[in-house]
Amino acid sequence: MDIVRVNLKKATIVNQKISKDSIYYLYGARGLTSHLVYDEVPPDCDPLGEDNKLIISNGLLTGSSFPCSGRASVGAKSPLTNGIKEANVGGRPSMMLALHGIRALVFEGISPRLKLLVIEDDNIRLEEAQEYARIGNYELSEKLYEVYGKKIGIFSIGPAGELTMKSASVAANDLEGYPSRHAARGGLGAVMGSKKLKAVVIIPTRKSKISIVDRNKFKAIVKPFAKELAESKEWFSIYGTPNLTQGMNIYGGLPTENFKRGSYEDVEKISGEKLHELIVSRNGKNRLPCSPTCVIKCSNQVMDSNGNFVTASMEYETIALNGSNLLINDLDALALINRYCDDIGVDTIEFGGTIGVAMDCNQLKWGDSTTVLKILNEEIRNGTEVGFLYGNGVKHIGITLHAKRVPHVKGQGLSAYDPRVFKAMGITYATSPMGADHTSGPAIVGRKAHLDKEYGEYNEDNNKLELSYELQICIAILDSMGCCYFIGVNFEMIELLTNALNAMYGLNLSADEVVIIGKEILKMELKFNEKAGIPRDQNMLPKFFREESSEPLNLRVSISKDELNNFWNRLG
Amino acid sequence: MDIVRVNLKKATIVNQKISKDSIYYLYGARGLTSHLVYDEVPPDCDPLGEDNKLIISNGLLTGSSFPCSGRASVGAKSPLTNGIKEANVGGRPSMMLALHGIRALVFEGISPRLKLLVIEDDNIRLEEAQEYARIGNYELSEKLYEVYGKKIGIFSIGPAGELTMKSASVAANDLEGYPSRHAARGGLGAVMGSKKLKAVVIIPTRKSKISIVDRNKFKAIVKPFAKELAESKEWFSIYGTPNLTQGMNIYGGLPTENFKRGSYEDVEKISGEKLHELIVSRNGKNRLPCSPTCVIKCSNQVMDSNGNFVTASMEYETIALNGSNLLINDLDALALINRYCDDIGVDTIEFGGTIGVAMDCNQLKWGDSTTVLKILNEEIRNGTEVGFLYGNGVKHIGITLHAKRVPHVKGQGLSAYDPRVFKAMGITYATSPMGADHTSGPAIVGRKAHLDKEYGEYNEDNNKLELSYELQICIAILDSMGCCYFIGVNFEMIELLTNALNAMYGLNLSADEVVIIGKEILKMELKFNEKAGIPRDQNMLPKFFREESSEPLNLRVSISKDELNNFWNRLG
């Protein structure tokens, strides 16, 4: 596999082989983006300046038939957290890169003019992209299909990325062709925009460069696992992640009214069941895979009341942060918010969190979806002053408005799980090198890192530090394989992944050795952050979660500050 | 003299005598505000939180007849720089506090409701101020005159301070009764607002508490000095500080178009001469003293074309930052900007700098004074989202808009002297513990700290580090005396001040001992900043001043980064 280095300043493209003896050989996706950022990006650089690098990498298993292994990580120094960042995404392009024999794209420097990178067999090239300037991801993908054919894979940014707004995402087109999948968190779209790279277009390779060393062994691992996984997720695939909405409400941890409370009186209007009903009645789609090899198929397409396509991939986090958190009880409005965010290239989580703070400061009316849509479609899209105000994320608006409740950690807005209720998730928010990111140690109810270990109730401190720690290690590994964590986040899964890896690459790794790699990834991320001014022993949650009780459960963040600050001592 | 401690949370008022053996005895105004901030404010506290303190203190010579000694310092941890801050101001109230026998007011805690502090002989009290909520300084002073009489002195904040915007100022009423004098820099009005203190009302004392130990000696020093000073400033008093506008333009250091260049084609339309003409022709006023004992009298009052009062105290910095810097060539518009800033309680320097960045980012049109006035009078005044965007200063809007040219140091916007041209001023900006503040080491053309020393041309690096350093020491002393620095910033003046101090307090200090006190003040400020996370060896100017040449003189900041970083080694 190759690392393709694209210097946008000099307009040069260089291929670098990852041989068996390369230090990068066992690092894919997040493992590789973090390794390269650690090795090559000056920790004190301006995240939107010349010296930052944007890295897109698929996983070690991407390109194979391993279930749900078609994800790519995008990595850089984040303009939102000023620390290291990785966000991963499904869709088409990751698998297509892998089939081209490309493990990673490394973008360096800043182009004088807006550019596309086009990847075609034996012809990787930069093209002018001025004609696509400031257009949304939806229009962009249509235009690119006209030029390069319907089957291309695309990574792209919308206007928010070009305007280097700190909530900007990197879009990937989905299997149906819509730019609905996003490496959304951490403002990586702004890094891509700062480099003046509008899109990466991947024309399908004529011949796959992927080889599996021991095909029979690999098949013997993959086939039964895929079958078992598909069957066990049957119910999940019907409702997808929005299925969580009612559950989180019952647990009292559904962000409501800028995290003031954890349950929402109108939850039924925005529930997964309601969304499912709406999708079915309007001939929308559910049970869609987000990327090749996905057998879980939790994605969806939402139509309007006339049966016309509005948006794809409506997720729980989008519904919670923009629904209950803003007291918007209308799924059609939420579908439009999702559509606009995807089109403009904005992280739906960061956006909902930002609007929540503004509503809490009485700058906007609770539940006023009309104004929220206007902010997206007129202000952010056009880069007005108000657009920049709302496009730079939760922390920034908190500073601007001198707000009391600013739900962020290390500059990144909290995801849709109240840390007072979901104690281990709160620890993940506080300690992850990525800022408040639920995916970096997704301790939702019932999740265990060792299936036979007791971690206590979700809303107790009991063993929650260990749970978060172990999940963060497991996730670092899953992320590096290019795998969706819905396949299972636990050390038993690491065994299975190790076996698949050994079969694919002809290796003889033990699961313990793979765990060591996972820990190495976290260590590099933490070290980068230290040098960037984010010490590993400063892990705080917003004060108000310690001072104000959640309703209705009357819980506060109770884990001691020392325990959070000492969290990473575990890693040595 | 007393320190009066007002705890706004507990609604308690405690008098503390400064006896001869107090560590505060030789510290007045900035010396005392900085000493108290250093001693009592936790460096890591939220500047707008419970633990910050707002201190208002007059100088060691305030209350006497020493020329131009009627100034007060306002001090706190700044929400703009997150470091220590002092801003000083003339007007009525400083002298009135001194006559009451009060050296300093220390405001602690946060009041649950908006309050006034009323100072009356034998009756210092807090009063409810809800009826004055969110009104401007002009309307406020009118209402306070009705209740407490025409002769009161007032420190107050406008809506910007109540809204805790980081460019908010503390107003002082002038000798004519207008709230035109401002301790403007560093967002100290936001600190006052955070404490829910709307105003300090000082009812004239029936009997002065000031005593001069050796009256004859004091008179012998003061009388000839006052006469000489008044005569030497005769010409300056006609035009006031706006007189600098043409001069700075000729030197090529007049901030123009967000500091892109140093001269302005329409400079004549906003010059001091033009302003003078306009004042005279409309029966405005010039040669006004800003405070009691002022013999320089450089202040003014500007009328509109109907002869009605618009604003008082139009200064050079206001004209430059809001005129040439924004390409606004209309003195009537600038007078209105000054009026609105004074009324709403916003620093005119920070405001002009902020708008300049927005114009440079194409968010506003160059020269569009109508929109600028609307931003002040509708957005900032009413605390809209756009108001908060423009009310939080230069650095904040630079972050919001991801601007290239952000003229600030340590979070405070640059004053009206291009640091590429005025080299020593640039060093002051870079190194002052106060952020980019021209008054903290005002090295304009021709200024010398030792009258017989050669510092080289203004636009050469030669000896400029020494000049800035020496001026910063002299200013720390002048500020602590309560003196306007227009009396002269040099070590000869320190001799004179020492003599006056000795006569007033019956002391026997040498000028060298007074210089040591000046250095102590700077040391405390630098130490506070270190603890607040602003190291004394990190003294940077915005990058663009090193990368882009000033027009027409083609100069860049040329002093080495190491020399700036090592600047404070001089102090030991």
What are A397-440's pLDDT values in tens digits?
999 999 999 999 999 999 999 999 999 999 999 999 999 999 99
Do both A258 and A385 map to the same domain?
Answer: yes
Within-domain flag for A35: yes
Do both B486 and B428 map to the same domain?
Answer: yes
CA atoms of B332 and B281, how far apart (whole Å):
13
> Which residues in chain A touch residue B164, judged by CB atoms under 8 angstroms apart?
402
- For residue A499, pLDDT over 90 is answered with yes
> Which residues in chain A touch residue B401, judged by CB atoms under 8 angstroms apart?
385, 388
B396–A contact, CB cutoff 8 A = yes
Within-domain flag for A239: yes
CA atoms of A380 and A401, how far apart (whole Å):
18
With beta carbons less than 8 A apart as the criterion, state whether A389 and A400 touch: yes
Long-range pairs for B41-46: beta carbons < 8 A, 24 or more residues apart: B41/B76, B41/B77, B41/B528, B43/B77, B43/B528, B43/B529, B43/B531, B43/B532, B43/B533, B44/B531, B44/B532, B44/B533, B45/B77
- For residue A120, pLDDT over 90 is answered with yes
Do both A402 and A539 map to the same domain?
Answer: no
- For residue A551, pLDDT over 90 is answered with no
Do both B245 and B385 map to the same domain?
Answer: yes
What is the tens place of the pLDDT at every residue in A324-382?
999 999 999 999 999 999 999 999 999 999 999 999 999 999 999 999 999 999 999 99
Query: Which of B384, B386, B400 has its CB closest to that of A396?
Result: B400
Within-domain flag for A222: no
pLDDT of residue A552: 87
Tokens of B277: 């003409």
Do both B489 and B555 map to the same domain?
Answer: yes
Nearest chain B Cα distance for residue A443, angstroms: 32
Rg (CA), chain B: 22
CA atoms of B83 and B440, how far apart (whole Å):
15
Query: Which of A385, A396, A402 has its CB closest to that of B386?
Result: A385
Cβ-in-10-Å burial (0-12, 13-18, 19+) of A569 comes to: exposed
Do both B249 and B348 map to the same domain?
Answer: yes
Name the domain boundary from B202, B218, B249. B202
> What is the arithmetic mean of pLDDT over A491-510?
98
With beta carbons less than 8 A apart as the criterion, state whether B176 and B210 touch: no
A163 falls in which pLDDT band (50, 70, 90)? very high
Report the residue count for chain A. Answer: 572
Flag if A389 and B386 touch (Cβ within 8 Å): yes
> What is the arithmetic mean of pLDDT over A107-134?
97
pLDDT of residue B552: 87
Residue A285: strand pairing partners: A301
A249: left (phi over 0), alpha (psi -120 to 50) or beta: alpha
pLDDT of residue A572: 87
Mean pLDDT by 10 residues, chain B (572 residues): 97 97 97 98 97 98 98 98 98 98 98 98 97 98 98 98 98 98 98 98 97 98 97 91 95 97 97 96 96 97 97 98 98 98 98 98 97 98 96 97 96 98 97 97 93 92 96 98 97 98 98 98 98 96 96 93 97 92
Do both A404 and A528 map to the same domain?
Answer: no
pLDDT of residue B37: 98
> Which residues in chain B touch residue A364, judged by CB atoms under 8 angstroms apart?
385
Flag if A400 and B396 touch (Cβ within 8 Å): yes
Within-domain flag for A221: no
Flag if B164 and A402 touch (Cβ within 8 Å): yes
Chain A residue with CA closest to B386: the answer is A386
Chain B residue with CA closest to A190: the answer is B402
The number of domains in chain A is 3
Q: Does the bond joining A552 to the residue before it have cis omega, within 30 degrees of 0? A: yes
What is the tens place of the pLDDT at every residue in A512-548?
999 999 999 999 999 999 999 999 999 999 999 999 9
Rounded to the nearest angstrom, the gap between the alpha carbon of residue A503 and the centroid of all alpha carbons in its chain is: 28
Q: DSSP for B370-399, please give it.
A: HHHHHIIIIIIHHT-HHHHHHHSHHHHHHH
B359–A contact, CB cutoff 8 A = no
B164–A contact, CB cutoff 8 A = yes
Helix (H) or strand (E) holding B549: none
Do both A429 and A407 map to the same domain?
Answer: no
Which CATH number goes with the domain that contains B504?
Answer: 1.10.599.10
Within-domain flag for B239: yes
pLDDT of residue A363: 95
Name the domain boundary from A373, A390, A413. A413
The pLDDT mean for chain A works out to: 97
Do both B305 and B434 map to the same domain?
Answer: no
Within-domain flag for A394: yes
Residue B247: strand pairing partners: none
| Residue in A475, A481, A476, A515 with CA at minimum distance from that of residue A495 | A515
Flag if A385 and B388 touch (Cβ within 8 Å): no
Do both A236 and A152 map to the same domain?
Answer: no
Count of CB contacts below 8 A, A vs B?
51
Nearest chain B Cα distance for residue A488, angstroms: 39
A184-212: buried (b, 16+ CB within 10 Å) or exposed (e) per residue? bbbbbbbbbbbbbbbbbbbbbbeeeebeb
A535–B contact, CB cutoff 8 A = no
CA B473 → CA B184, B462, B489, B561, B572, distances in Å? 21, 19, 9, 22, 13
A35–B contact, CB cutoff 8 A = no
Which CATH number goes with the domain that contains B65?
Answer: 3.60.9.10
Query: Which of B48, B363, B401 has its CB closest to that of A402?
Result: B48
Nearest chain B Cα distance for residue A34, angstroms: 25
Do both A454 and A307 map to the same domain?
Answer: no
Q: DSSP for B65-106, please give it.
A: --TT---EEEEEE-TTTSSEEEEEE-SSHHHHHHHTTEEEEE
Residue of B48, B363, B402 to mutate when probing chain A, most A C-beta within 10 A? B402
What is the tens place of the pLDDT at every residue in A248-292?
999 999 999 999 999 999 999 999 999 999 999 999 999 999 999
Within-domain flag for B213: no
With beta carbons less than 8 A apart as the criterion, state whether B70 and B57 touch: no
What is the tens place of the pLDDT at every residue in A60-107?
999 999 999 999 999 999 999 999 999 999 999 999 999 999 999 999
Q: Read off the DSSP letter of residue A28.
A: -
> What is the share, in percent, of chain A residues with pLDDT greater than 90?
98
What is the tens place of the pLDDT at every residue in A555-565?
999 999 999 99
pLDDT of residue A171: 98
B81–A contact, CB cutoff 8 A = no
A234 falls in which pLDDT band (50, 70, 90)? confident
Range of the domain at B522: 423-571
Name the domain boundary from A202, A221, A248. A202
Neighbours of B547 (CB within 10 A): 11
CA atoms of B27 and A422, how far apart (whole Å):
53
Do both B179 and B234 map to the same domain?
Answer: no
> What is the arithmetic mean of pLDDT over A185-198?
98
B401–A contact, CB cutoff 8 A = yes
Neighbours of B34 (CB within 10 A): 30
Within-domain flag for A245: yes
Residue of B360, B385, B386, B395 to mutate when probing chain A, most A C-beta within 10 A? B385
